Structure 1
Amino acid sequence: MEFNHADLFEALADAIGDRRALVAPGPDGVERLTYAELDVYANRLAHHLEDAGVGPGQHVGVHLYNGLEYITTVLAALKLRAVPVNVNYRYVEAELEYLYNDAQLVALVYESDFEERVTAAAGRTPTLRHRVVSGGTSPHAVPYKDALAGSPATRGFAQRSGDDRYIIYTGGTTGMPKGVVWRCEDLFMAFGGGNPYGEPRKTPGEVIEAARSSGGVVMMTAAPLMHGAAQMTTFISWWMGGSVVYNRRFDAAEILRTIETEKVLTLGITGDAMARPLVDAIAAGSYDLSSLAALSSTGAILSGSVRERLSELLPNMMIIDSFGSSESGYTASGVEGSTPESGLKYRPNITSLRVLGDDLRPVEPGSGTIGQIAKTGHLPIGYWNDEAKTAKTFVEVDGERWLLTGDIATLEADGTVSVLGRGSQCINTGGEKVFPEEIEAVLKGHPAVFDVVVTGVTDEMYGQRVAAVVQLYADAEASQGDLDAHCRSRLSGYKVPRTYAFVAELQRSPAGKADYRWARKVAEKA
């Protein structure tokens, strides 16, 4: 047994096989499976894929909503030493064609809802030779139930290693998606090392023993499994000997009903895009959320106004802002009282996190020097099929390999990191740098604003001007003048948006991340 996700899961199935591992939508309704039962599902699908010619190092696309089929496919691919590849279920035909070909998929497990666009994109993907369809039938694919029914429940797979690959495709906020390639052992270590509250486990056996002796927590991820954070939350819950809970898609009221029914202890979400509907649903409904002890946001920041509302509604719940990415793993947690409005601060939970200056040297703590957050230690191999992006993001300094995250920050005297924003989204207006996250946080503090994305648009005099794409609450009213006055009382003049575009609904990724490409187009038209 090595630090390999399939090895570890199989060892858990042997050690605590009768303990619940999963509560999730499945082909026959909500499934509640033990570790041993889930292992059998994954074995059957793995043998089916193996019989279809899928082998070590080959890529299997997972184009599904949250559910039993998704995590079964991930485990099945890993059992074969094949590589699961997450596919964004909102992608249209052209985007799917790009991803299928970029990832060089040889097999695909997909939702029947996507049949038309999958068929079109698959027809232009020469490497894709086998498909499994869930939730329906297709002349081009084997039904998911048939794939499992015709395959053995036992294991019998080749030996694996910590060097086996795991790919997380990340769309980020701009450009086409890119695949982050990890060694399984490095991925395991980067996301907690089997112990998110302390030092990484030293051996795979320690992971299993810790899970065996645990009480078995119940964790829920509201984010889609096509987002790396949701996949890692799943594994982390298992390394702790617990169970993970999914809903098929995000619906605030359904999430709350599930927390009540399954007695969920911790909930993982993605920023305000999920937190705001949850706040509204909690305020409007009557749910028993007494089991919920912690809410963790990853991938996007919680604004101070939403955090305050959550604290009012659920005063005994811990709220955690986690800092990390598909490239870095879980690296830091928000400092108590820190918000985007007041200044966002994180405390590193690893010793390998630094702020590097333009010369790629660590900045002096407390100096106020602005640099880029970087990480060394357990890192990805790079980006799949993109040597240029890999060389730009992963650099070597004095023989040590570093990940440049693109997050701009200063290092405080007490070792905390003050994050200013993403360098790629920084707006340069007349030589002044404006970070959208700060402006977004201020605007979200206005009682009429439900959601907002701030971006830069072309300006003949200043190069760029600040623009805000705003979604108001359904029953609220606010003019550009109202928002302008709100911002001017809290921001320097050059940071105040000059252009506002009001929209009925803000477009975000399925993971809740801001879609800056879309926002920029909307703002340019305004």
Structure 2
Amino acid sequence: MVNIATDVWANAETDPDRLAIRSPRTITYGELRRTNQQVAGAIRAAGIAPLDRVLFIAPTIPEFPEVYYGLHAAGVTVITMNTMSTAPEIDYVLEDSGASLVIAWHENAANAEQAAAERNVPFWRIEPGFSFDAEPLTQPHEHDRLDTALILYTSGTTGRPKGAELTAANLVDTVASFKPVLELTEDDRFGTALPLFHVYGQCVCMNTALSLGSSFSTVHPFSPKAMLDVMVQDRLTSMAGVPTMWNAMLHVEGDYTPEDFSALRMASSGGASLPVEVMRAFKERFDCAILEGYGLTETVGAATFNDINREQKTGTVGPPLPGTVVEIRDGEGNVLGPNEAGEVFVKGPTVMKGYWNRPDATAADLRDGWLKTGDIGMLDEDGYLSIVDRVKDLIIRGGYNVYPREVEEVLYEHPEIVEVAVVGVPDPHYGEEIAAVTVLEPGSDATPESIRAWAKERLSAYKVPHLFAFVDALPKGATGKILKRAIDRDELRSLAAEGVRA
């Protein structure tokens, strides 16, 4: 019998006055449990039974864990969604999941309330200082290990989004997997601006920190200066983010001193591949290594990680987490040897139960416990995983395979490039042409010709971009991950026709 709320509440038993939430307001573990009990009591009083689905929409604020662990304590299947979701997107999830209740933070409530009303689903608005007039539920529901405790809908890059069913055991096993590699204790002060409705911020960061008794600082909305200020103010010992966040923090100016960052012992990165140049620059400025990991929504965000107790291999996402096995397979399903690129398959305690009401999709991606990830990677002789790219992002130019990440890694070393995304654009001669959509340093006079000449010294000729677009900002998702699918290929083709090439 398991429940992620049980693990968090255990800290209230041992030390109720210890801080659970440190910023932007303080909440002790005892106070967090009391609010959770009140939320759970209100759920039960509303006639909502264990394993009924409840949709919860809120940003990275202290109220998120106050509601979230209350829902888990009541035993419902929690669904969290992006705070920027439209009414039709929310309507789709309500229909697909058969949710019994919608709860939303007041600033993000309009679309959720509209969708709930159209579906005749009860709606609760959460505001600062919220409370419920219900008998508190004093003990968390006891889940069977395979009960679906959480459904997270994938981004739906092809077709409609699918709900990944994460079990009660998946959630607690994710914490158990990270415990020995992070070594968080009750003395640690963990902070993040990651969205808590996303698997990384919610399950890897919040659940791990609060289950292990650390304090948790939240930043919303993300700004690089706000994140640095909380790091200094709360003397953070551990942070988590995505590559675009680390990159933005590197470009913040201010009267910071090395002493301001002296408490920081660890930074962890996920969500997208971290350019080696960003990792190097972060270490140089903050005297702290970024430890990169790898996971998917379907693995509760957890598969591999650069364990602090093992050799750190820059450019890799580390070895498999405890209990997890990773294989690299070719197109026929054969297991490949060290340093051979193929599709990544994952098996272990964090792999999902399946997709909600999608038996065909489950059978396609999950077989004998092995998850087909859709990522191209390779394992070295020591079992460290390197992600080469997404299968769908592979560019085939004139018969040559080009992995965008490899090209991006090189371009990030250019002194005037802040951010870059490399994508393929249909081309009548080569099949696909390589395009680099680039954000330059303010005042830069770099040109497509100068960048291409610079890149030709570092890349094989067929890997060097021929098409360049300079933009003020790249499209990003809620986690800060660059969204290549949102880059307008038609616009890039127009640039090509106009001769914006090198």
Same fold by TM-score greater than 0.5: yes
Q: 1:18 to 1:145 in 2, by over 3 A?
A: closer
Give the structure 2 partner of residue 155 of structure 1. Answer: 138
The residue identity in structure 1 corresponding to 2:146 is D
Distance 1:240 1:331 in 2: 19
For residue 181 of structure 2, give the secondary structure of its aligned residue in structure 1.
coil
In the alignment, which of 345, 349, 359 is matched to residue 374 of structure 1?
A: 345
Give the structure 2 partner of residue 241 of structure 1. Answer: 213
In the alignment, which of 308, 314, 319 is matched to residue 338 of structure 1?
A: 314
Give the structure 2 partner of residue 42 of structure 1. Answer: 36
Q: Deviations along 1:120-147, whole A, 9 cap, x unmatched? A: 43344x2x62222234xxxxxxxx755x
Asked if structure 2 preserves the Cα contact closer than 8 Å seen for 1:52 and 1:130, the reply is: no
Q: Deviations along 1:55-86, whole A, 9 cap, x unmatched? A: 21122222111112211221121111112212
1:354-393 to 2 correspondence within 5 Å?
A: 354-365=327-338, 368-378=339-349, 379-393=351-365
Give the structure 1 partner of residue 194 of structure 2. Answer: 223
Give the structure 1 partner of residue 77 of structure 2. Answer: 83
Give the structure 2 partner of residue 203 of structure 1. Answer: none
Distance 2:493 2:79 in 1: 34
Give 1:159 shift: 3.6
1:318-337 to 2 correspondence within 5 Å?
A: 318-328=289-299, 329-334=301-306, 336=312
In the alignment, which of 37, 55, 59 is matched to residue 53 of structure 2?
A: 59
1:3 aligns with 2:11: no
1:517 aligns with 2:482: no
Give the structure 1 partner of residue 123 of structure 2. Answer: 131
Q: 1:54 to 1:430 in 2, by over 3 A?
A: farther
Distance 2:468 2:88 in 1: 30
1:254 aligns with 2:226: yes
Distance 2:425 2:175 in 1: 37
1:278-297 to 2 correspondence within 5 Å?
A: 278-281=249-252, 283-286=253-256, 288-297=260-269
Q: 1:327 to 1:196 in 2, by over 3 A?
A: farther
Distance 2:12 2:367 in 1: 40
Give the structure 2 partner of residue 466 of structure 1. Answer: 434
Give 1:269 shift: 0.6
Give 1:42 shift: 1.1
Asked if structure 1 preserves the Cα contact closer than 8 Å seen for 2:41 and 2:137, the reply is: no
Q: 1:421 to 1:156 in 2, by over 3 A?
A: closer
In the alignment, which of 187, 192, 208 is matched to residue 176 of structure 2?
A: 192
Distance 2:158 2:64 in 1: 26
Give 1:172 shift: 7.2
Asked if structure 2 preserves the Cα contact closer than 8 Å seen for 1:173 and 1:513, the reply is: no
Give the structure 1 partner of residue 165 of structure 2. Answer: 181
Q: 1:377 to 1:313 in 2, by over 3 A?
A: closer
Give 1:173 shift: 6.1
For residue 298 of structure 2, give the secondary structure of its aligned residue in structure 1.
coil
Asked if structure 1 preserves the Cα contact closer than 8 Å seen for 2:393 and 2:404, the reply is: yes
Q: Deviations along 1:490-512, whole A, 9 cap, x unmatched? A: 22222222322222221111112
In the alignment, which of 65, 83, 89 is matched to residue 71 of structure 1?
A: 65
Asked if structure 2 preserves the Cα contact closer than 8 Å seen for 1:187 and 1:380, the reply is: no
Distance 2:329 2:376 in 1: 9
Give 1:443 shift: 1.9
In the alignment, which of 455, 464, 473 is matched to residue 505 of structure 1?
A: 473
Distance 2:422 2:178 in 1: 37
Distance 1:384 1:89 in 2: 21
Give the structure 1 partner of residue 458 of structure 2. Answer: 490
The residue identity in structure 2 corresponding to 1:318 is A
Distance 2:482 2:161 in 1: 14
Identical columns (%): 25
Asked if structure 1 preserves the Cα contact closer than 8 Å seen for 2:102 and 2:112, the reply is: no
Distance 1:173 1:337 in 2: 31
In the alignment, which of 382, 389, 395 is matched to residue 427 of structure 1?
A: 395
Asked if structure 1 preserves the Cα contact closer than 8 Å seen for 2:475 and 2:484, the reply is: no
Asked if structure 2 preserves the Cα contact closer than 8 Å seen for 1:266 and 1:293, the reply is: yes
Give 1:299 shift: 1.0
Give the structure 2 partner of residue 140 of structure 1. Answer: none
For residue 302 of structure 2, give the secondary structure of its aligned residue in structure 1.
strand
For residue 481 of structure 1, give the secondary structure of its aligned residue in structure 2.
helix
Give the structure 1 partner of residue 154 of structure 2. Answer: 170
Distance 2:145 2:11 in 1: 17
Asked if structure 2 preserves the Cα contact closer than 8 Å seen for 1:346 and 1:419, the reply is: no
Can you give the 5+ residue segments of structure 1 that lack an aligned partner in the other structure? 25-29, 136-143, 199-209
Distance 1:145 1:246 in 2: 17
Give 1:524 shift: 4.4
Can you give the 5+ residue segments of structure 2 that lack an aligned partner in the other structure? 496-502
In the alignment, which of 65, 89, 96 is matched to residue 90 of structure 2?
A: 96
Deviates more, 1:150-159 or 1:287-296: 150-159
The residue identity in structure 2 corresponding to 1:131 is F
Deviates more, 1:290-299 or 1:402-411: 402-411
Q: 1:93 to 1:493 in 2, by over 3 A?
A: farther
1:403 aligns with 2:374: no
Give the structure 2 partner of residue 205 of structure 1. Answer: none
In the alignment, which of 268, 273, 287 is matched to residue 240 of structure 2?
A: 268
Distance 2:352 2:175 in 1: 12
Distance 1:196 1:70 in 2: 26
Q: 1:158 to 1:418 in 2, by over 3 A?
A: closer
Give the structure 1 partner of residue 500 of structure 2. Answer: none
Distance 1:117 1:110 in 2: 10
- TM-score, L = length of structure 1: 0.85
Give 1:385 shift: 3.1
For residue 469 of structure 2, give the secondary structure of its aligned residue in structure 1.
strand
Q: Deviations along 1:226-256, whole A, 9 cap, x unmatched? A: 2211112111112322111111221111111
Deviates more, 1:113-122 or 1:6-15: 113-122
Distance 2:305 2:50 in 1: 36
Q: 1:474 to 1:93 in 2, by over 3 A?
A: farther
Q: 1:376 to 1:4 in 2, by over 3 A?
A: same
Distance 1:79 1:72 in 2: 11
Give 1:11 shift: 2.7
